[in-house]
Amino acid sequence: MLFSSIPFLYYFLPIVLIIYFITPKALKNTVLLLSSLVFYAWGEPRYVFLMIATVLFNYILGILIEKTRGKSLSKFFVILSVVASLSVLGYFKYADFFIKNFNTLTGLSIPLLKIALPIGISFYTFQILSYTVDVYRGDVAAQKNPITLGAYIALFPQLIAGPIVRYVDVEKQLVKRTHTFEKTAFGIQRFIIGLSKKIIIANTLGQLCENFHSADDKSVMFYWLFVIAYMLQIYFDFSGYSDMAIGLGKILGFDFMENFRYPFISSSISEFWRRWHISLGSWFRDYVYIPMGGNRVGKIRLLINIFTVWFLTGFWHGAEWNFIIWGVYFGILLLMEKYFLAKHIKKTKITKHIYVLFFTAISFAIFAGSSMKDALVNVGGMFGYGDIPLISESAVYNLRNFGFILIIAMVCATPLFVKLKEKLNTNRKIRHLMDALEIPLLLILLIVSTAYLADGSFNPFLYFRF
């Protein structure tokens, strides 16, 4: 089930919220767990049992890790949790990748397993690891109630697309949450904005990307148009889902971390990654980079640490070489920026932004490929490789048809409207007018988004890849 679907918006969510708010506090986590399992089983009926088994296994390990803390057994149990969790993730997500590469190296023809990827497994695996590792470190106490732990791991608002919520951040909220009118109102507003970003902007840009893939007359202009559209599609799709998750969390009494903070206004690649997929970046920092020594090591070790983190960041996104190269590409850029490029891009803000957007666009050309070969074709096409024309009829046609939404997307990818609203709010009369218009505008966005869905418009689910 997707947030951006009629069944979720008008059947599942209203029923769950009604049951949740009329249920006594002691049973609210039970409602969350059961509704989350129903939500997951809607699209993955087989794998809901895998999730239940995962919850129970790590529930037991969490208690054992705490009981044996300070002993070698505690380390054994946390390693068991890490190995088991990553093995399950590796089997479902990466088995065929390793088989294909093994066949290529050896010349053998071992058949692929062709296993369906459980939705959201990359996200909830990292949440499980944050729990057991933090229990081992002594940062949190082991959860004694399996229903509470299950509600955390399976929590449907952020189950399939993040943000990656750490147990330490919601430990107290799992036991005691505050529900206020202001919090609920903010949650509804955030959810509708996220839904609109996904349905109205991301899905429309996705249609442009589909047109590119089906076109026969590729050109340099069309490749750039495609990469820019894809880059914005990923941003509005992913940040839209994060907004919806954060909004639903607020309605249910949770405070989830922000996952995106206008990354395209960044003045450096390092700033871009402080603003893009924040929960993933901070997870790798705290559970991989810092335990390896972070930047408190020699230059050679630092290079190894950075390479490892960005290799894993790329590999987390998908079982293809282009994802790995995408991650390593950013790692190399960050190293170049740290030791060389930063000295040469300090002249003006415009220069910095152009530098970030240019190299980010190339990264998304790599990311957009279904394979490494496809990624190289995308990058080559941006610079005219293969004797393709500069302009094509399809490029002009799609620019004419999608130009307006591209401009809207570019503007909305900046904090322009937020800053404008803040400025206007200083005038009391205008602030009252804006407050009065807020609800009608949100209703219009909801109606338009619903109309798109009811019309059966293009509505891809990008996270199947992850």
Q: Are residues 206 and 302 in the same domain?
A: yes
Report the b/e string of 103-138 with b at 16+ CB within 10 A.
Answer: eeeeeeeeeeeeeebbbbbbbbbbbbbbbbbbbbee
- Residue-level pLDDT at 347: 63
DSSP E strands, 216-279: none
Catalytic residue among 179, 317, 344, 432: 317
- Residue-level pLDDT at 346: 64
- Domain termination residue (choose one: 137, 160, 177): 177
- Residue-level pLDDT at 299: 84
Q: What is the pLDDT of residues 13-47, one digit of tens each?
A: 999 999 999 999 999 999 999 999 999 888 778 89
Q: Are residues 192 and 217 in the same domain?
A: yes
- Token pair for 334: 């960050």
Q: Is residue 464 part of a domain?
A: no
* 317 is a catalytic site residue: yes
- Residue-level pLDDT at 422: 84
pLDDT of the chain, 466 residues: tens digit per residue: 788 889 999 999 999 999 999 999 999 999 999 999 999 888 778 899 999 999 999 999 999 999 998 888 999 999 999 999 999 999 999 999 999 999 999 988 899 998 888 888 999 999 999 999 999 999 999 999 999 999 999 999 988 877 999 999 999 999 988 889 999 999 999 999 999 999 999 999 999 999 999 998 899 999 999 999 999 999 999 999 999 999 999 999 999 999 999 999 998 999 999 999 999 999 999 999 999 998 888 888 989 999 999 999 999 998 899 999 999 999 999 988 888 776 666 666 778 888 899 999 999 999 998 889 999 999 999 998 888 999 999 999 999 999 999 999 999 999 998 888 888 888 888 888 888 888 899 999 999 999 988 876 666 666 555 5
- Residue-level pLDDT at 368: 93
- Domain termination residue (choose one: 141, 159, 177): 177
Q: Are residues 142 and 214 in the same domain?
A: no
CB of 164 closer than 8 Å to CB of 279: yes
What is the sign of the dihedral through the CA atoms of 360, 278, 306 and 308? negative
Q: Is residue 465 part of a domain?
A: no
- Residue-level pLDDT at 43: 73
Q: How many domains does the chain have?
A: 2
- Domain termination residue (choose one: 152, 177, 202): 177
Q: Are residues 305 and 162 in the same domain?
A: no
Give, in order, the Cα–Cα distances in Å from 329 to each of 198, 303, 362, 370: 28, 13, 10, 17
Q: Are residues 100 and 238 in the same domain?
A: no
Q: Are residues 27 and 158 in the same domain?
A: yes
Q: Are residues 38 and 121 in the same domain?
A: yes
Q: Are residues 62 and 172 in the same domain?
A: yes
Q: Are residues 260 and 140 in the same domain?
A: no
CB of 136 closer than 8 Å to CB of 78: yes
Q: Is residue 25 part of a domain?
A: yes
CB of 137 closer than 8 Å to CB of 178: no
Q: Are residues 140 and 187 in the same domain?
A: no
- Residue-level pLDDT at 339: 80
Which DSSP string do the residues of 109-159 spell out, in sequence order? Answer: -PPP--PPPPTTHHHHHHHHHHHHHHHHHTSSPPP--HHHHHHHHH-GGGT
Q: Is residue 466 part of a domain?
A: no
Q: Are residues 307 and 344 in the same domain?
A: yes
Q: Is residue 385 part of a domain?
A: yes
Q: Is residue 41 part of a domain?
A: yes
Q: Is residue 59 part of a domain?
A: yes
- Residue-level pLDDT at 127: 94
Full domain range(s) for residue 76: 6-177
Q: Are residues 70 and 163 in the same domain?
A: yes
